[in-house]
């Protein structure tokens, strides 16, 4: 099969479009003919390499993809041949205490498709059958591929962890990527007022539902603007994925008893924390990675019913994955970078 594969870690130039051999499926796995995939910051992290992440090479990344089942293992009962599916990238054992209580993203043996095992930047991919969500035939596999990982992540952060309710105020720093644009829509769906900081496409952010937009280039001390807008109360929830560059101001923006929930640190991991602020205002800082099985299914439903409409920045072919990953790293990118493998295929 053809794949976007790398044999060494490095910048986007290490990605090669070439023929590779896919292993045979195990009894509990399925083989998927990939239709669409989308890129995430995780793909850059995996490609660049890290001492903390030791994966065998060559490697095929890609955690977000849709397609059709073309082969099933001998023990598979969840899906049938020909099913149109979305992939849950979170791999779990199903046996540990966390899995048994329905918190698969806290599994002792948690790993991810596209990070710890080969992913969807290829003509075919192999995943555990339990990681699939069967889609209706009329589903837009392009949209689902563009929104699965970001929607399930934002849904867990805002709904399950931060417990956003009508009347809450949510701050989303650094809006521009797929995660933050999904978060805006989900926060509005949950009934919150949304404040966003961004440096680009303010009109698009407002169209997604943002109530108040702060340009952080014009207002580098944007937490002061948040304070003014909330009449010196602060926000109930901060949705953090930027990290070091926004961390200190994000904490300052919280109201007493507020919650900061984080799922990423694209600008660095060493955010400055005023501990006195944390205990005096009784703040909560929560981490989040992926989602459990129920939240994954709920996220797919949000995409299917149009509650979340993924913002797509650009689209490339599988052969153009090297250029697509370069685009992912461009500062003015807004929304998801999509990879078209076969396009949305039908059974007709």
Count: domains in the chain:
2
pTM equals 0.95
| Domain-located, residue 175 | yes
Return the axis-axis angle of helices 293-304 and 141-155, rounded to nearest 10°: 130
- Does 192 share its domain with 221? yes
Evaluate whether 247 touches 271 at the Cβ level (below 8 Å): yes
Owner of token pair 């209580």: 101
Evaluate whether 194 touches 187 at the Cβ level (below 8 Å): yes
| Domain-located, residue 145 | no
pLDDT band at 346 (very low <50, low <70, confident <90, very high): low
Strand, coil or helix: 111? strand
| Domain-located, residue 73 | yes
pLDDT (tens digit per residue) in 70-103: 999 999 998 999 999 999 999 999 999 999 999 9
Question: For residue 130, is pLDDT > 80?
Answer: yes
Give the pLDDT score at 340.
97
User: What's the rounded Cα separation, in Å, for the pair 69 and 171?
Assistant: 40
Evaluate whether 120 touches 87 at the Cβ level (below 8 Å): yes
Which residues, 6+ apart, have CB-to-CB distance to 263 below 8 Å?
153, 157, 179, 240, 241, 287, 288, 289
- Does 33 share its domain with 120? yes
| Domain-located, residue 293 | no
- Does 127 share its domain with 158? no
Question: For residue 347, is pLDDT > 80?
Answer: no
**Tokens standing for residue 235:** 């926000």
Evaluate whether 3 touches 60 at the Cβ level (below 8 Å): yes
pLDDT band at 348 (very low <50, low <70, confident <90, very high): very low
DSSP state of 21: P
Q: Which residue has the higher pLDDT, 69 or 267?
A: 69
Give the pLDDT score at 53.
86
Give the pLDDT score at 46.
95
pLDDT (tens digit per residue) in 20-68: 999 999 999 999 999 999 999 999 999 999 888 889 999 999 999 999 9
- Does 41 share its domain with 104? yes
User: What's the rounded Cα separation, in Å, for the pair 315 and 37?
Assistant: 10
Distances (CA, A) of 166 to 171, 188, 190, 342: 14, 9, 6, 41
| Domain-located, residue 295 | no
Q: What share of the chain is helix, strand, coil (3-state, %, to 5)?
A: 30, 25, 45
Give the pLDDT score at 226.
97
Strand, coil or helix: 303? helix
pLDDT (tens digit per residue) in 286-328: 999 999 999 999 999 999 999 999 999 999 999 999 999 999 9
pLDDT band at 140 (very low <50, low <70, confident <90, very high): very high
- Does 32 share its domain with 92? yes
What percent of the chain is modeled with pLDDT above 70? Answer: 99
| Domain-located, residue 140 | no
- Does 333 share its domain with 267? no
Phi/psi-derived region of residue 201, left when phi > 0, alpha when psi is between -120 and 50, beta in every other case: left
pLDDT (tens digit per residue) in 145-177: 999 999 999 999 999 999 999 999 999 998 888
Evaluate whether 61 touches 89 at the Cβ level (below 8 Å): no
Query: In Å, how far from its chain's centre is CA 7?
Result: 25
CATH number at residue 16: 3.90.180.10
Q: 3-state secondary structure string, 267-300?
A: CCCCCCCCHHHHHHCCCEEEECCCCCHHHHHHHH
Strand-strand pairing, 2-6 and 15-19: antiparallel
Question: For residue 344, is pLDDT > 60?
Answer: yes
Query: In Å, how far from its chain's centre is CA 160?
Result: 16
Give the pLDDT score at 50.
84
Question: For residue 16, is pLDDT > 80?
Answer: yes
| Domain-located, residue 193 | yes
Which residues, 6+ apart, have CB-to-CB distance to 225 below 8 Å?
214, 219
| Section 112-127 average pLDDT | 97
* Domain extent at residue 26: 2-135+311-340
| Section 178-201 average pLDDT | 94
| Domain-located, residue 74 | yes
Give the pLDDT score at 333.
87
């Amino acid at each position: 099969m053809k794949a976007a594969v790398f044999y060494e870690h490095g910048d986007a130039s290490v990605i090669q479009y070439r023929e590779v051999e896919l292993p045979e499926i195990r009894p509990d796995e399925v083989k998927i003919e990939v239709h669409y995939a989308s890129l995430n910051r995780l793909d850059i992290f995996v490609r660049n390499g890290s001492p903390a992440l030791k994966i065998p090479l060559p490697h095929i990344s890609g955690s977000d993809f849709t397609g059709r089942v073309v082969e099933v293992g001998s023990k598979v009962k969840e899906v049938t041949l020909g099913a149109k599916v979305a992939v849950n990238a979170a791999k779990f054992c199903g046996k540990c205490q966390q899995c048994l209580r329905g918190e698969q993203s806290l599994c002792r043996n948690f790993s991810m498709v596209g990070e710890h095992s080969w992913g969807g930047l290829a003509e075919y991919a192999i995943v555990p059958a339990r990681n699939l969500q069967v889609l209706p035939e009329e589903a837009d596999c392009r949209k689902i591929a563009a929104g699965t990982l970001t929607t399930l992540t934002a849904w867990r952060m805002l709904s399950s962890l931060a417990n956003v309710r009508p009347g809450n105020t949510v701050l989303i720093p650094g809006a521009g990527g797929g995660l933050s644009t999904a978060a805006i829509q989900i926060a509005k769906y949950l009934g919150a007022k949304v404040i966003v900081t961004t440096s680009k496409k303010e009109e698009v952010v407002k169209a997604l539902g943002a109530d108040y937009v702060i340009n952080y280039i014009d207002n580098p001390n944007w937490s002061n603007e948040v304070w003014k807008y909330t009449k010196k109360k602060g926000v109930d929830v901060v949705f953090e994925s930027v990290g070091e560059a926004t961390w200190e101001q994000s904490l300052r923006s919280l109201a007493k008893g507020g919650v900061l929930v984080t799922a990423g640190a694209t600008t660095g991991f060493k955010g400055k924390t005023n501990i006195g602020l944390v205990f005096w205002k009784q703040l909560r800082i929560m981490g989040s990675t992926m989602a459990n099985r129920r939240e994954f299914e709920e996220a797919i439903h949000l995409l299917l019913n149009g509650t979340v409409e993924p913002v797509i920045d650009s689209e490339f072919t599988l052969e153009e994955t090297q250029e697509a990953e370069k685009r992912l790293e461009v500062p003015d990118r807004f929304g998801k970078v999509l990879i078209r493998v076969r396009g949305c295929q039908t059974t007709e």
